[in-house]
Amino acid sequence: DHVIAERKRREKLTQRFIALSAIVPGLKKTDKASVLGDAIKYLKQLQERVKTLEEQTTKKTVESVVSVKKSKLSDNDQNPDSFSDQPLPEIEARVSNKDVLIRIHCVKQKGFAVRILGEIEKLRLRVVNSSVLPFGDYIMDITVVAQMEDEFCTTAKDLVRNLRLAFQHFM
């Protein structure tokens, strides 16, 4: 009875080693010690691959910033009591790797869209697509899809800050 149980146990182990050797790629030897050693190496490689892929996934998250809304555009950041007559545009920027999405909601002004596209290009962004939608008689919504130039990287927060500074100069 004990001999039969031991034989079944060994057969079961042999079948499992055969199954394991079929799964592990690049096996050179089929003895049990080599199969186990190569299986351990293969599992470690897979764990490293998973770790690398998870890091890449977390790096691909989209960074998004919406500008803080003030009621009027300040001529000077140090002097918040000094306001121009123009309402402050609302700026939203999203950055994913080298791709950038910018949305600007502002008061309609003649030539404003052309000026803002010029400012975006000055920030070392290449405009891929843009759309300007008038909303009512006084409001305009500008959406720009751009790509960062090679060797250039910026955050959504910096992008919004730089666009805000540009608005202060030509509003």
pLDDT digit string (tens) for 7-26?
Answer: 999 999 999 999 999 999 98
Q: What is the pLDDT of residues 54-106, one digit of tens each?
A: 877 666 656 666 665 444 444 444 444 444 455 668 899 998 888 999 999 98
Instruction: Identify whether the C-beta of residue 140 lies closer than 8 Å to the C-beta of residue 106.
Output: yes
Q: Element (H or E) spanning 156, and its range?
A: helix 156-170
Percent of the chain with pLDDT over 70: 80
The predicted model scores a pTM of 0.56
Cα–Cα distance measured from residue 55 to residue 159, given in angstroms and rounded to the nearest whole number: 25
Nearest to 148 by CA among 137, 134, 138, 162: 162
Cα–Cα distance measured from residue 93 to residue 108, given in angstroms and rounded to the nearest whole number: 20
Name the pLDDT band for 38 (thresholds 50, 70, 90): very high
All domains in the chain, ordered by first residue: 2-59 (4.10.280), 63-170 (3.30.70.260)
Angle at which helices 2-23 and 32-59 pack, to 10 degrees? Answer: 50
